Chain A
Amino acid sequence: GQQVMQIPQYQHVQEGEDFTTYCNSSTTLSNIQWYKQRPGGHPVFLIQLVKSGEVKKQKRLTFQFGEAKKNSSLHITATQTTDVGTYFCAGSLKGGNKLVFGAGTILRVKS
């Protein structure tokens, strides 16, 4: 079945350092979405990427979708303590309505 792999599992950075999490799918995706879950909270939608090679930015966050639409990344520039949480990628197949979530990357930021 469809699988979405995400690395690293965990990252602990110093405040001000950059952070990147990577997502890979075993199959070509229709789109990919990114979510953030704060400790004790629920996943909250960040962004959706649809086009091959697409790059989107939200302030310090940069999202990329690979040319083959099988991989994606989220990069945070100059992390802040408010960035703490788990970042999930989630992909869906063409014509599909269900998202398959990666295992998530837990980000901790030391101030």
Chain B
Amino acid sequence: DAGVIQSPRHEVTEMGQEVTLRCKPISGHDYLFWYRQTMMRGLELLIYFNNNVPIDDSGMPEDRFSAKMPNASFSTLKIQPSEPRDSAVYFCASKDRGSYTFGSGTRLTVV
């Protein structure tokens, strides 16, 4: 298995632009999580899905952030409009029963 696949690896965008991050979980894993990592706030859970259904989005910072999981093999995290304070590494992780497997992350820089 190729593991959790995220794209792009790096994204640099201008303030106000829309940004879409993508994730392909491990096949058969029925949970998918989106985390954001910054020096100041560490690893923060943004949202998670179970069987493609959003279960807890209490960590989504504001309405500019949205996430979807149209099928078991694909999820997106969208930021519209983006702001400099959104700059961070965004990780996607999936799990079946136990441990989480993280993707390599997307390093987002908003200038």
Contacts and interface: CB of A to CB of B under 8 A. Distances in A.
B50 interface: yes
B43 interface: yes
A40 B33 CA distance: 20
B42 interface: yes
B103 A103 contact: no
A97 B50 contact: yes
B105 A101 contact: no
Interface string B38-55: 000011010010100001
B43 A42 contact: no
Contacts of B50: 97
Contacts of A100: 45
Interface string B71-97: 000000000000000000001010000
Interface residues of B, number: 20
A28 interface: no
A80 interface: no
Interface string A92-108: 00000111111110000
B42 A98 contact: no
Given A33-B99, A97-B55, A104 B104 contact: no
A22 interface: no
A64 to B, nearest CB: 18
12 contacts: A33-B99, A35-B100, A43-B102, A44-B102, A45-B99, A45-B101, A97-B50, A98-B45, A99-B45, A99-B100, A101-B42, A104-B42
Interface of A: 33, 35, 41-45, 48, 88, 90, 97-104
Interface of B: 31, 33, 35, 42-43, 45, 48, 50, 55-56, 91, 93, 98-105
